[in-house]
Amino acid sequence: MEPAEHALLPDDALRTLAQALRDSADSLYSQRELEVVFEGPRRPEFGEFATNVAFALARVARRSPQDVAKALVEDARARNPAVDELFAALDPIAGFINVRLAPQLWHAAVASILRDGEAFARAAHRGQRISLEFGSANPTGPLLVVQGRALSVGDALARTMRLRGYDVFTEWIINDAGGQLDALGRSVDARYRQLSDAAYPFPEDGYPGDYLIDIANELNEREGARIATMAEDERLAFMAQFARDRIVADQQHSAERFGVHYDLWQSERELHERGRISEGIARLKELGFTYEADGALFFRATDFGDDKDRVLVRADGRPTYFCTDVAYHYEKLRRADRVIDILGPDHHGYIGRLQGLARALGYPGRLEVLISQQVTLVRGEERVSMSKRAGHILTLDEVVGEVGLDATRFFFAMLATDSPLTFDLKLALEQSNENPVYYVQYGHARIASVLRKAESADVAAARNAPLSALQHPAEIALARRLAELPRLAQHVAEQLAPHLLARYARDVASDFHQFYTECRILAEEREVRLARLALCLASQRALATILGLLGVSAPESM
């Protein structure tokens, strides 16, 4: 059975088996409604998939799960002859039904990858709107590694969701209203005065990074005469605004250079100016979730699981930071079907608070919050110390300049967001299999090298060649891995788990290197040679897709 347009794919075979097992459960145990789920077995030698469906039936059948599993397999085979054609093995073991598909199904999967090309793993448009905010930082300094991790994770998630048919709108909130801007203005003013008086004191709550010295020099060159005529309040406000605009522009440039484009850079101050703050407060009042105490306006946050009620407007009339959250999230919830925030490591308390706010506003379950945990930089055994408040910082741009964009993005995305990440700058520069991004990119480059060595006519013919010659365990293992990508990408989008992309990339590279080692690709026998070249082309497509989702290049040579 050769792969063709009408050939069954692995998922089709699993659906056929699931239905056969449901029919058998109905016939043997009168259980018509039965969920059959296939997962990877605990040990690879047991098969490619396994289901524990027999355990769910054991009590009703009054038999052991192993006996039930045997009965289900025997009955399914008897009533549906196609089962034996689609599966190389159906083994009841310890109550599980372990499954190994017939090779032609994996051949069909490879053929489908070659047919789909760049559309491989792409899903149809779903019509679901996603608001995804990530990376947001105060406009008081350059982007640091903690924002770099959020940028890598958020952008990989956005790319994967778009691949799977979601409408994704990416956002950054600029926190440019509040005390941090006042502190920024005082910090710039101090740096400006130090240009002529080195002993001028720096404010205790200021931002001591050297980047403000450059801004002070630019202010002096461009606006020195104007600044000299300003009253203090006017001067501080002017300096804060000047620094804010310069820093935000630098942050935007850093994000773009990092390969991340945002659909919206939302100014907090602009929310005030457009009346969105008042609108959010009015909505909570209308719903009956506010009250006044000691001259301040409170949100009844404890009604929605928070540990205390939250102040919206202070007694002096100034809205709180949480009040801005109300306005911003109310706006996002109204225009999106799913709202996702990726917040920094010091925002754990915001998870329940924001989700409670979504319930209060009438959008239960629509808001999800991820915490992008802290990043520790090391060079081998040496830890790189960083403190923004103390003025000792290593910026995201500097990390990219040291180890390159590809390594930076890949390393930041390797672990689940809720796990602290240790980023070894020395390892990121190594050209060895210990460096995960090098290992994956080398896999893509190795495929390109094989294709260059092959006859061009063979490469062209391989795209439509029969694949029945692919029978070696390393060939089947690689084909099976490639077929996982659509399902994996959907899981990443649903479970907000982009670190699985990096893990999968390494698995594909590992399986390809194993195939390369055990199977002579440019074999003398043409049928074998073309089939193996086809597997190379499919592997190249899968690696290019997954690296693209991670924002990492797929080199043709290394």
- C-alpha count within 13 angstroms, C-beta hemisphere, residue 493: 27
Given a cut of 60, whether residue 533 has pLDDT beyond it is: yes
Architecture category of domain 130-173+262-368 in CATH: 3-Layer(aba) Sandwich (3.40)
Q: Which candidate, 68, 66, 87, places its Cα nearest to that of 29?
A: 68
> Which residues lie below 8 Å from residue 451, measured CB to CB, with a gap of 6+?
459, 533, 536, 537, 540
Three-state SS for 138-203 is CCCCCCEHHHHHHHHHHHHHHHHHHHCCCEEEEEEEECCCCHHHHHHHHHHHHHHHHCCCCCCCCC
Given a cut of 80, whether residue 393 has pLDDT beyond it is: no
Could you tell me the CATH superfamily of domain 10-101?
Arginyl tRNA synthetase N-terminal domain (3.30.1360.70)
> Which residues lie below 8 Å from residue 69, measured CB to CB, with a gap of 6+?
53, 54, 92, 93, 95, 96, 97
pLDDT band (50, 70, 90) for residue 390:
very low
CA distance 154 to 263: 13
pLDDT band (50, 70, 90) for residue 391:
low
pLDDT digits (tens, 9 = 90+) for 177-190: 878 899 999 999 99
CA distance 366 to 129: 11
CA distances from 315 to 141, 273, 287, 294 (A): 31, 21, 22, 7
pLDDT at position 293, please? 96
Lateral strand order in the sheet of 375-379: 382-383, 375-379, 421-424
Give the residue carrying structure tokens 């310069």.
246
pLDDT at position 394, please? 85
**Percent of the chain scoring above 70 in pLDDT:** 97
pLDDT digits (tens, 9 = 90+) for 110-160: 999 999 999 999 999 999 999 999 999 999 999 999 999 999 999 999 999
pLDDT band (50, 70, 90) for residue 9:
confident
Please list the residue range(s) of the chain that carry CATH number 1.10.730.10. 107-124+432-549
Per-residue buried b or exposed e for 430-444, using 16+ beta carbons within 10 Å of the residue's own CB: eeeeebbbbbbbbbb
pLDDT at position 47, please? 86
Kindly tell me the burial class for residue 402, based on how many C-beta atoms sit within 10 Å of its own C-beta (0-12, 13-18, 19 or more): middle
> Of 28-42, 337-351, 382-396, where does mean pLDDT reach its minimum?
382-396
pLDDT at position 4, please? 42
Given a cut of 50, whether residue 433 has pLDDT beyond it is: yes
Please list the residue range(s) of the chain that carry CATH number 3.30.1360.70. 10-101
Please list the residue range(s) of the chain that carry CATH number 3.40.50.620. 130-173+262-368
Q: Which fold has domain 107-124+432-549?
A: Isoleucyl-tRNA Synthetase; Domain 1 (1.10.730)
* β-strand pairing of 87-93 with 129-134: unpaired
> Which residues lie below 8 Å from residue 307, measured CB to CB, with a gap of 6+?
none
